[in-house]
Amino acid sequence: MNGNGIVSSDEFDLSDRSTYSHWHQVTIRSTDEDPLGHVNNCVYASWIEVARVMLIRRYLAVAGNDIDTALVNLSIDFLKETTFPGNVEVGARLLGIGNSSIRSGYGVFRDGQCLATSRCVNVFFDLNARRSTVPNDEMRAIMEQDLA
């Protein structure tokens, strides 16, 4: 942790499966395809959200009922197109812990190839006060363990 209370780690290769410890399989739906006959870009965001929600739920589980997160930035690099039917696997990992925010990274894989990578920034906020907040020590400990 540096003087600003920021814990981060060296950046990872998000297109490398070994970067990820948390995995979620998501079924491709026929409705995911667009007029070009491959999966629409916006659908990747919904696959990544499955992994992001599950990653953050692990941290929020020790946070009490008054805290949640809000996504403030989503960035996706599209590397390869894909088609229905089948499944994709989405890897997730924490990339950095700020005072009131976290950065997380994702990779979408199929048949040994990386289809997309993504970086997200989420802010912790207090559901009662309706403003950003700082995670409690227990949540922070779990996140630091996950980042290591």
Candidate list 54, 60, 134, 147; residue touching a second copy; CB under 8 A: 54
Is 76 a binding residue for a second copy by CB under 8 A? The answer is yes
Residues 31 and 29: their CA atoms lie apart, in Å, by: 5
Residues 48 and 119: their CA atoms lie apart, in Å, by: 10
Stretch that binds a second copy, among 1-9, 10-18, 26-34, 136-144 (CB under 8 A): 26-34
Nearer to a second copy, 33 or 144 (CB): 33
Nearer to a second copy, 52 or 93 (CB): 52
Is 68 a binding residue for a second copy by CB under 8 A? The answer is yes
Is 33 a binding residue for a second copy by CB under 8 A? The answer is yes
Is 31 a binding residue for a second copy by CB under 8 A? The answer is yes
Candidate list 9, 16, 17, 25; residue touching a second copy; CB under 8 A: 25
| Residue whose token pair is 């009490």 | 64
Residues 127 and 112: their CA atoms lie apart, in Å, by: 41
Cα angle at 32 between 39 and 45, to 5 degrees?
75
Do the Cβ atoms of 98 and 9 come closer than 8 Å? no
Asked, as a colleague might, if the bond just before 135 is cis with ω within 30 of 0, I would say no
Give the ranges where the chain is alpha helix by DSSP (H): 41-60, 137-147
Nearer to a second copy, 79 or 141 (CB): 79
Binding interface with a second copy (CB under 8 A) = 24-27, 29-31, 33-37, 40-42, 45-47, 49-50, 53-54, 68, 70-78, 81, 84-85, 87
